Amino acid sequence: MKHHSFFVRYLCVILFVVAPQLVRAQSNPNCSLIVPNNPLTAEGLATPYQLVATDPTAGDCHETNSDQSAFVQAAVIDPATGQISIYNPLVVDQGATPAMPPVIPTLPANPIVALWFGYNGDTLTLQGADGVLAGASCVNGADGANFGQFAYCNAPAFFRAAHRALRRGQISIPPLGMAVDGRPCPTVRDFFAVDQDQSDNLPTSYLMTSDGMAQRTQANLSRYPDAVMLGNPSDNRLVDVALDGALGCTPWKAADLADPGQMVPALPLNELQARAKQGFPVALVPAGDPMVLSNGSRDLVKVNAYRRGVDQPPVAWSFQADTARYCRNMLRVAPARMMQDQALLMPDAAHPTRGLSPDPGAADSLFTFLAQRFVASYDILGCADLLRVPDPIALTINADGITTGVVLNGPIITRARQFLAWCERQDHSQDNASTAADTE
């Protein structure tokens, strides 16, 4: 998982403004979310989720501790019109009162509602009263083993409804657009953007106020101008905010039911767009993703359980989720575009918000953040052993553990290009086979 290496630990800590009220001491990495009753209804969506320690003897869990923060995102589809809208339920500490009551959303008739969960620690466990999780079709993992930072409720039903609406012409997925580097804008299935456990976590953010946690709405921003925004590190936020901002791209957004008049990005929108628009090679959850391993071993049942939650085709055979092929595609795509776009991914006085590091505690720019993310992923997936190609990226890390420089090893890159060219046709053929299955 993202937190199982020196570099990756920092990927679990994204906070856009550092606040003194954040708890930064050693934290209990395993927390639970108490799911409210009837979570797929308007009342359930507006009922705060409660964060609690899975094992109280390991220490407390606090939403304002960015090492433990949990996030929830809901998507709603109107089966009559196909219209999709988004709602971000609030998370608070167990027994805490939110700064402002969450907005009760207005839902269409017979809505199909789904939930996704993201987490900044190690393992998030969903809890609920008897029948709540089963009644909402919640999936926390498979074979008794949690995914880790990810979970979902009723996601397959949402995606089936979305694909029906697409076939009827009720939904129009926007094009990716062209980035300022002359290449297609990245998606959450682009090997330029993914890491070892793609498609986890959310672009949801909350407000930490002097009165407690609050939904990020225009009304609450006005009421609490000094509030600090708490965000979930993710492939989704990296694409929707950091990369799109640097490359002149725009994420697909839908109406925010908690904040009338506002549009927000969302995990399900990202996955639908990536499924429809991402060109080859397409990044799909590999069997070596730590979140889909069972006791350190490959588990295709768990791979499919995860993939169903993010609208990816299931696998019947190991080659369809081959980790070595995933590594080869990372190596083909990420370093080359990273180096091509270096100037765009660095802070620039003429563009003050472009190129800023999503996590200044891990890297000093978006460019160095992507580089240390690649290095960590290459290591966690065991790519060097699978490919017999060392990592071509070397990092400069200062005394505070922050990545400040990146060097590409020329001889390794030359060797890698020769190796990748030799097996490109076979990889492309297998990519086609692995994406041929339909999730419906």
Question: Mean pLDDT by 10-residue block, N- to C-terminus, for the chain (440 residues)?
Answer: 39 35 66 98 98 96 95 98 98 97 98 96 96 98 92 98 97 97 97 94 96 98 96 86 96 98 98 96 96 93 97 94 95 94 91 85 93 96 96 96 93 86 74 57
Taking the C-alpha atoms of residue 85 and residue 168, their distance in angstroms, rounded to an integer, is 18
Taking the C-alpha atoms of residue 293 and residue 145, their distance in angstroms, rounded to an integer, is 9
Q: Is residue 1 part of a domain?
A: no
Q: Is residue 297 part of a domain?
A: yes
Q: Is residue 399 part of a domain?
A: yes
Q: Is 83 exposed, middle or buried (0-12, 13-18, 19+ CB in 10 A)?
A: middle
Taking the C-alpha atoms of residue 271 and residue 3, their distance in angstroms, rounded to an integer, is 23
Q: Which residue has the tokens 């891990």?
A: 362
What SS3 class is residue 394?
A: strand
Taking the C-alpha atoms of residue 117 and residue 73, their distance in angstroms, rounded to an integer, is 7
pLDDT (0 to 100) of residue 433: 62
Beta bridge partners of 363: 403
Q: Is residue 84 part of a domain?
A: yes
Q: Which helix (H) or strand (E) holds 408?
A: strand 403-408
Phi-psi domain of 141 (left: phi exceeds 0; alpha: psi -120 through 50; beta: other) = left
Backbone angles phi, psi at 179, to 5 degrees: -75, 165
**Tally of CA atoms within 13 A in the half-sphere of 166 that contains its CB:** 14
Q: Is residue 440 part of a domain?
A: no
Q: Is residue 439 part of a domain?
A: no
Burial call 145-159: b when 16+ CB within 10 Å, e when fewer:
bbbbbbbbbbbbebb
Q: Which residue has the tokens 């639970």?
A: 32
Q: Which residue has the tokens 């609920």?
A: 128
Cβ atoms of 24 and 389 within 8 Å: the answer is: no
Radius of gyration of the chain (CA): 21
Taking the C-alpha atoms of residue 144 and residue 135, their distance in angstroms, rounded to an integer, is 18
Other CB atoms within a 10 A radius of the CB of residue 391 amount to 20
**Tally of CA atoms within 13 A in the half-sphere of 301 that contains its CB:** 9
What domain count does the chain have? 1
What SS3 class is residue 379?
A: helix
pLDDT (0 to 100) of residue 434: 65
Picking from 226, 176, 237, 159, the residue whose alpha carbon sits closest to that of residue 203 is 237
Helices 410-422, 424-434: crossing angle, 10 deg rounding: 60
Q: Is residue 401 part of a domain?
A: yes
Cβ atoms of 295 and 400 within 8 Å: the answer is: no
pLDDT (0 to 100) of residue 2: 55
pLDDT (0 to 100) of residue 395: 97
Cβ atoms of 196 and 202 within 8 Å: the answer is: no
Residue numbers of the domain that contains 71: 6-434
Cβ atoms of 135 and 292 within 8 Å: the answer is: no
Picking from 280, 325, 286, 264, the residue whose alpha carbon sits closest to that of residue 184 is 280
Cβ atoms of 348 and 354 within 8 Å: the answer is: yes
Q: Is residue 99 part of a domain?
A: yes
